[in-house]
Structure 1
Amino acid sequence: MKEIPPTPESFGVIAAATDRLLAQVAELDDKDMAAPSRLPGWTRGHVLSHLARQAPALERLLEWARTGVETPQYPSRRARDAEIEAGARQPAAALVADVRATAAHFRRTIEELPAPAWQATIRPFTGELCTPRRILVIRIRELVLHHVDLDIGNGVADIPAQARQIVLDDVLGYYAEAEGMADVVLSDREGALLGHFGTGGPVVSGTPAEVLAWLSGRSTGTELDCTAQLPALPRWL
């Protein structure tokens, strides 16, 4: 699974993704928040509530790394879902303020985490063993993809290149280990290799943004070119 180093550059990617998100959602009103997002069953309010609650949840993992005391990201999926549901009913201004405040606290937490803690072993809600360096990837992934999910005029192609590559590498790493993943070669439209699964298989080509959109479930892949029928993907997250 993808990890990145705890450097000012990495922290800057998170800060930039947060700022881009907040700049757009600040314009939403209560009616906008109640409208459907691109995620089935979730309003825009649910998406923002999830991002707000995710920050302290990830901080619990960082506390685990700092102290050595196992601290789960969430007590249970039911508790996680209840938190999101409760937050989604807040007025628009309160939701945006919640995202802003929790993001600022998360930024301070990662900037102040002692160096030895970045080498500790923790386990996120998704089950993989990793170091806190993976938490940086998870936060970037959630910020940029859920920004797209809000359906407020921001697409995968609008994700800045550095953040997009981090997320693409992460998704490729997931599918490399996923059960039932078909053999396939991924390339950009100039023929440069983006990734591959197995040996051989059809060649799927598109821009990095188009490939990421398909792999992450933000596109059906109709914009991609494929030398055979586009393979079905195993469930992602």
Structure 2
Amino acid sequence: MTAPAPDVLLAQLHKAADVAASTASKLTDADIPAASALPGWTRGHVLAHLTGICNAMARQLEFASRGETVELYDGGQEGRNKAIDTAAGHDAATHLADLNTALERVLKAFDSLNVAEAAATESSTEASAASGATWQTPISYRGGVVLDGGLALWRELVIHTADLGTGYGPEAWSRQFCEHLFEFLSARVPETHRLVLQPLGLAPVTIGNGGRSVVVSGMITDIAAWLAGREPSLGSLRASAAADDVDLPELLPWPAGTPAK
């Protein structure tokens, strides 16, 4: 498994942004304070977080284009949490306007990478100076590069749109996205375990290096949802070890870095 190529990821970001915006546009004022799929968070909290992560990732790229790095959220984790709590109670129209503005900002930042990559291949001094950030430019997020930030935004948009609980759930996640989650969330496998993920009709995927081997079988979207700490939506998962049914193993926390709640 490998990360999607930058042009593929960019297309996926636009698609995920469209779904997030469309889903948010259907919410009414009465829907905002209702519970989301995340314990303790209303739909308003989820929308505020989506807006926040879009602005935060846009900021990463904007600083990177100047050869600088900046922490993901203004004010760090405390600033992130305060901003979410403050904005959670906004009405539906305000949430939608804020989200659309943030999506436009972050997509513009990622779209500019194609221009930067093209400019970087030019030999002229003028083109080189205008190149700005590329997909491999360092950012502070997880000590990675812009590509890592793009993958993170993809995860945040897709997973949290499902968390809104409006009918768009993990069952709508693409195979490519699920396979990306298998790889990224392999960090959640306990050191003692080795998980053999067996999506129905597809080749198995092994994650983890522990001595206890557990096979987890089910729809690919259900396996991905479980790894992401969400409820499977198309059926039940089956876990087995040495041909005997066992409980699904307890997973470790979300990989180190700013958590996805």
Aligned to 1:186: 197
1:180/1:234 contact within 8 Å kept? no
The one-letter code of the counterpart of 1:17 is A
Indicate yes or no: 2:178 matched with 1:164.
yes
Task: Report the counterpart of residue 117 of structure 1 in structure 2.
Answer: 134
**1:58 match:** 57
Q: Deviation of residue 220 (structure 1)?
A: 7.2
Letter in 2 for 1:226: A
Which consecutive residues of structure 1, in runs of 5 or more, have no partner in the other structure?
A: none
Q: 1:88 & 1:166 partners in 2: Cα distance?
A: 30
Residues 12-21 or 158-167, more deviating? 158-167
Partner of 2:206: 195
**Cα displacement (A) at 1:191:** 6.1
2-structure distance, mates of 1:24, 1:70: 32
Q: Given that residues 62 and 132 in structure 1 are in contact (C-alpha distance below 8 angstroms), is that contact kept between their aligned partners in structure 2? A: yes
Q: TM-score, normalized by length of structure 1?
A: 0.87
Answer whether contact 2:223 2:232 (CA < 8 A) is retained. Answer: no
The answer on 1:226 being equivalent to 2:235 is no
Q: How far apart are the structure 2 equivalents of 1:148 and 1:181?
A: 31
Equivalent residue runs for 1:35-184 within 5 Å? 35-74=34-73, 75-113=75-113, 114-115=116-117, 117-124=134-141, 128-172=142-186, 174-175=187-188, 180=191, 182-184=193-195
Higher alpha-carbon deviation: 195-204 or 79-88: 195-204
Counterpart of 1:216?
228
Instruction: Give yes or no for contact 2:221–2:232 (8 Å, CA) kept in 1.
Output: no
For residues 182 and 61 of structure 2, what CA distance do their matches in structure 1 show?
A: 24
Q: Which has the higher contact order (CA 8 A, sep 6+)?
A: 1
Instruction: State, as a whole percentage, how many aligned pairs show the same letter.
Output: 29
> 2: distance between equivalents of 1:190 and 1:69?
46
Give the greater-gyration-radius structure (CA).
2
Larger displacement relative to structure 2 (37-46 or 63-72): 63-72
| RMSD of aligned alpha carbons | 2.3
Gaps of 5+ in 2: 118-132
Report the alpha carbon displacement of residue 3 of structure 1 after superposing the two structures with TM.
4.7
Q: Secondary structure at the match of 2:205?
A: strand
Contact 1:4 1:134 in 2 (8 A): no
Q: Distance in 2 between matches of 1:204 and 1:164?
A: 14
Letter of the 2:139 partner, please give it. Answer: I
TM value normalised by structure 2: 0.80
Matched residue SS, 1:60: helix
Local SS of the residue matching 1:205: strand
Secondary structure at 1:148 match in 2? helix
Amino acid at match of 1:106: V
Give the Cα–Cα distance (whole angstroms) in 2 for the partners of residues 157 and 105 of structure 1: 29
Query: In structure 2, do the counterparts of structure 1 residues 161 and 186 end up closer, same or farther at CA, with 3 Å as the change threshold?
Result: closer
SS at match of 2:32: helix
